A = this chain, B = another copy of it.
Amino acid sequence: MAVADPGPSDSAQCEHCAVRSRALCAAATVEGLRDLRRWSRVRQVTVDEVILADHAEAEFVGTVVAGALRQVKTMPDGREQVVGLIFPGEFFGRPFRETSDFSYEAAVDSEICVTERRAFEALLRRHPEVEHQLLLHTMNELAAARERSLLLGSLDTLERVATYLLVMAARREQMLSRIGQDPHFEVAASLISRKDLASYLGTTIETISRHVHHLSRSGIIRIIDSGHFEVLDHGRLLAVSGVTRDDLKLFEAAEVGPPLDAGQIRQQRTD
């Protein structure tokens, strides 16, 4: 073997980073990025691993490179609520606060890029363009979180399932178009376990199973496997969800790419 195994933790190699173009660091200047990577490490985490514990000291902040994290709140009697999901390119953690307000856990095996919190805070001061980008990201997250109030407060469980499928299908569409692939089928990939999904939607795995199969029997979706669904009739799925096309967009808004000017847009092949 010519190259040593990088192991579970390695200093950031930004030039090969899969989310370089759309994560927070994309907004950094050349000096800002050099600064940022000095304090950053890439870490592999395994499913269910606790990355930051609720109420514990929040030692770092980070960005998801691959996989997914769940943001969890646990009640005294043991009830758990997934209050947020964090997908590749998205920022997580709590700058300017000593302890974490939530528990961050790996929803699946994931790769994350973490930065020591105090160093990150100092860096925000030195590089206001990064702080500005973080503000934009946080405001988008806030709008998405508010939209979730609509989902949990006003939608019935069938509508929630339909909405989630639409959001994940759109996310996949977007992801494929980014790498220049043409999605011949509209597919929603759940990406997380049924248990997490149930908690995220404020319902149970049984109810989700029932609704998914109801949508399948209605010919609106096709069940590929328990985590993948082809959207056969987008219009009817949207009608079932009860929400508008515009409101759907708010759910996905968590990801903030910096405004790309024409020169930055990479040539993409469509074949």
A260 at the B interface (CB under 8 A): no
- Interchain CB contact (< 8 A) of A76 among B83, B138, B242: B242
* A154 adjacent to B102 (CB under 8 Å): no
Contact status of A84 and B146, CB under 8 A, knowing A135-B131, A139-B95, A139-B96:
yes
Give the docked Cα–Cα distance between A244 and B128 (Å): 36
Tell me the number of copies of this protein.
2
Give the docked Cα–Cα distance between A255 and B101 (Å): 16
Give the docked Cα–Cα distance between A146 and B71 (Å): 9
Give the docked Cα–Cα distance between A39 and B269 (Å): 48
Q: How many residues of A contact B (CB 8 A)?
A: 46
Give the docked Cα–Cα distance between A146 and B148 (Å): 9
- Interchain CB contact (< 8 A) of A242 among B75, B97, B145: B75
Most B CB within 10 A of own CB, among A136, A150, A202, A247:
A150
A132 at the B interface (CB under 8 A): yes
- Interchain CB contact (< 8 A) of A138 among B71, B79, B135, B243: B135
Q: A81-B149, A102-B146 are in contact. List 13 more A-B contacts (CB 8 A).
A: A73-B147, A75-B243, A79-B242, A81-B154, A83-B146, A83-B147, A96-B136, A102-B143, A131-B131, A134-B135, A142-B142, A149-B202, A153-B202
